[in-house]
Chain A
């Protein structure tokens, strides 16, 4: 009986999706996105997109075509298409499932069958995830073939996208189900789910931004501490010859190129170092708070990033990240007023420092445990679903 009923609910969910134009639109677009990867190829130091060529020496970057294809798949296929555009389509398409299910006249029939309310609701909930499951299965299968044909890498890890995307979408869908159950309104379910997702996006961005600020400031603190040490050495050993600096702007910042000791310069360096230390401490405090809040809520971006963790090794990612940052933006500068009141520009984080910051970022996010990322997120979902079941089981229709 249980199998019969479960199969019936899933069959019904498929028919419901099948009847929605958005489902087919998303499926066709999914196919188009994957097939567009076929248009990307590499020839003699060029990246070729259909007929257009752009110079891109992958070997010089230490990246294989296979890794590059995987990165395209992850950045455009998964992060941009699946976890962004297709998810919005999925939220819109599935928002009406629970409100329609609990509407008068329809729910009476469902409840009059020999199936417990909790099982009925949970099966209906899981069946609603079929939208994403079907979309991602098609997408992952096509991607597997395209990556095999183009990148000459048959990567079964791509199929991890299926459970990860379903889990990711379920974080959001539990909110849609709760709102749909409470308000019986499709619009309310859709809007509040999108707002919730936006909140998670802000939370995640706060984490990333605060962490980057913190890592930057830690690097600055390191440099400023070095500057203080050099200036103190100049004070303590006035006869000591200047250490040969790197001759760059950062060398000038560190004071290695200065001659003679200047107490005011040391005082200012200490003052600046202490101020930066306070900044670092404040950023650590705030970042800790954000992490605490994040622990309670679903971690959407990090769940999706688990796919990258599975497909691309950290060393390769570091290499790629370095290669990309080599041709990147100029190093950050800041204006410093010197003793004569003249303003000069100093580089306080050179390319090595920036690289260290981005490596720290990669390591930090990779070091977060799967249990923390998925476990706590599923815990949140379980609490919301528990609430849904409690409401559904107790309500009179």
Chain B
């Protein structure tokens, strides 16, 4: 188990410039705490997969200052404690599911007896037990993805890096993968998820980072990141015979607060619960009926979109992805791939 006080990923600065001068990563700074589920978001070409590949030594950084599980990034022996599911993974098609997990377990340095036991357990967990003796060439994309998750866990890793884990997986499979991530978190593992499916990340991640054009523009817990956008929403109605817009205008003139109003709904721009008390008084003074008051905040998607636009990124890539997602959900076929 990793030291609970030590950051699992602690990057001060990572840069990567590909041949031809394309800057994929620009002094990326990132911190991942032990035991958390961390989500990395970004539009296509933001550098998310490159960052993961740098951590896994698949891509060599141009400049790197940071540590993973207490060792410098690039140290091969550390990878024995890391599980990795690559994007667009490809297994040798002549192997069976069982052989795939066993092979990559051996490559990760897991002893045979342990491999046997864990292979059976993991295939059961990812729902591939019935297919364990079938060759990979007969698997669907979703099945390969499940198998990929199983092989990523064969070495009982302290840190698991999942690059687009739900890519090509049907809704049921996505839920299974979410459950597996939850289970890993419960077991005290640190999970790093790279995904474009914002709604899923919102469900499972403790903290997220948003990458745009090779830079991390925001990182923190979803709650912290969306705190600034917290607002209150009132559901209201005027008394019988009353002029609702006029009553609302009168109430907020007294309260001297900026509001957004549409029929039956009043949205305030204040985030503090104490600040809305005078508003309630003002509305009541005008005999406006308050049906409900609820706090609202930006969704992760709104936060992401604004971060991408502010960061000068092209959210079009994201929109394409989301269209792909719809396609995928409808036809179980994601055509919006790519990074």
A residues near B (Cβ < 8 Å) are 1, 4-5, 7-9, 11-12, 15-16, 18-19, 100, 103-116, 394, 396-397
| Interface bits B35-78 vs A (CB < 8 Å: 1, else 0) | 00000000000000000010011111000000000000000111
Q: Which residue of chain A has the shortest Cβ distance to B163 in the bound complex? A: A108
Q: Which residue of chain A has the shortest Cβ distance to B18 in the bound complex? A: A396
B59 A396 Cβ-Cβ under 8 A = yes
Q: Which A residues are CB-close (under 8 A) to B111?
A: 4
CB A104 to nearest CB in B, in angstroms, measures 6
- The segment out of B84-92, B202-210, B248-256, B300-308 that lies at the interface is B84-92
B82 A112 Cβ-Cβ under 8 A = yes
Q: Which A residues are CB-close (under 8 A) to B151?
A: 109
Q: Contacts A1-B109, A108-B86, A112-B84 given; indicate if A11 touches B94 (C-beta within 8 A).
A: no
CB B63 to nearest CB in A, in angstroms, measures 14
- A100 CA / B92 CA spacing, docked (Å): 9
User: Top 3 closest A-B pairs, CB basis?
Assistant: A105-B90, A19-B94, A8-B106
Q: Which B residues are CB-close (under 8 A) to A104?
A: 88, 90
Chain B residue total in the interface (Cβ 8 A): 33
B226 within 8 A of A: no
Q: List 26 A-B contacts (CB under 8 A).
A: A1-B80, A4-B111, A5-B107, A11-B103, A16-B92, A18-B94, A104-B88, A104-B90, A105-B86, A106-B89, A106-B90, A106-B91, A106-B92, A108-B58, A108-B84, A109-B104, A109-B151, A113-B79, A113-B109, A114-B76, A114-B79, A115-B76, A394-B60, A396-B18, A396-B53, A396-B59
CB B272 to nearest CB in A, in angstroms, measures 47
B88 A105 Cβ-Cβ under 8 A = yes
Q: Which B residues are CB-close (under 8 A) to A116?
A: 76
Q: Which A residues are CB-close (under 8 A) to B58?
A: 107-108, 111-112, 396-397
- A12 CA / B106 CA spacing, docked (Å): 11
Q: Which B residues are CB-close (under 8 A) to A103?
A: 90
Q: Which A residues are CB-close (under 8 A) to B60?
A: 394, 396
- What would 4 more interface pairs be, CB under 8 Å, given A16-B94, A100-B92, A114-B109? A18-B94, A108-B56, A113-B79, A114-B77
Q: Which of B103-117 contact A (CB under 8 A)?
A: 103-104, 106-112
B99 within 8 A of A: yes
A109 B59 Cβ-Cβ under 8 A = no
A5 B88 Cβ-Cβ under 8 A = no
A112 B56 Cβ-Cβ under 8 A = yes
- A394 CA / B60 CA spacing, docked (Å): 8
- A111 CA / B84 CA spacing, docked (Å): 10
Q: Which residue of chain B has the shortest Cβ distance to A100 in the bound complex? A: B92
A108 B106 Cβ-Cβ under 8 A = no
Q: Which B residues are CB-close (under 8 A) to A110?
A: 107
In the complex, which of the residues A1, A15, A105, A106 contacts B99, with contact meaning CB atoms closer than 8 Å?
A15
B95 within 8 A of A: yes
Q: Identify the interface centre among A7, A8, A109, A110: most chain B CB within 10 Å of its CB.
A: A109
Q: Contacts A104-B90, A113-B104 given; indicate if A15 touches B76 (C-beta within 8 A).
A: no
In the complex, which of the residues B88, B99, B107 contacts A113, with contact meaning CB atoms closer than 8 Å?
B107
Q: Which B residues are CB-close (under 8 A) to A12?
A: 92, 95, 103
In the complex, which of the residues B80, B90, B112 contacts A114, with contact meaning CB atoms closer than 8 Å?
B80
- A380 CA / B280 CA spacing, docked (Å): 87
| Interface bits B1-41 vs A (CB < 8 Å: 1, else 0) | 00000000000000000100000000000000000000000
B88 A4 Cβ-Cβ under 8 A = no
Q: Which B residues are CB-close (under 8 A) to A11?
A: 103, 106
Q: Which B residues are CB-close (under 8 A) to A15?
A: 92, 94-95, 99
CB B16 to nearest CB in A, in angstroms, measures 8
In the complex, which of the residues A5, A19, A109, A396 contacts B106, with contact meaning CB atoms closer than 8 Å?
A5
CB A80 to nearest CB in B, in angstroms, measures 31
Q: Which B residues are CB-close (under 8 A) to A16?
A: 92, 94
- A106 CA / B151 CA spacing, docked (Å): 13
In the complex, which of the residues B76, B78, B89 contacts A105, with contact meaning CB atoms closer than 8 Å?
B89
Q: Which B residues are CB-close (under 8 A) to A108?
A: 53, 56, 58, 84, 86, 89
Q: Identify the interface centre among A7, A9, A12: most chain B CB within 10 Å of its CB.
A: A12
Q: Which residue of chain A has the shortest Cβ distance to B16 in the bound complex? A: A396
Q: Which residue of chain B has the shortest Cβ distance to A113 in the bound complex? A: B107
CB B132 to nearest CB in A, in angstroms, measures 15
B18 A113 Cβ-Cβ under 8 A = no
B57 A111 Cβ-Cβ under 8 A = yes
- A104 CA / B337 CA spacing, docked (Å): 14
Q: Which A residues are CB-close (under 8 A) to B76?
A: 114-116
Q: Which residue of chain B has the shortest Cβ distance to A394 in the bound complex? A: B60
Q: Which B residues are CB-close (under 8 A) to A19?
A: 94
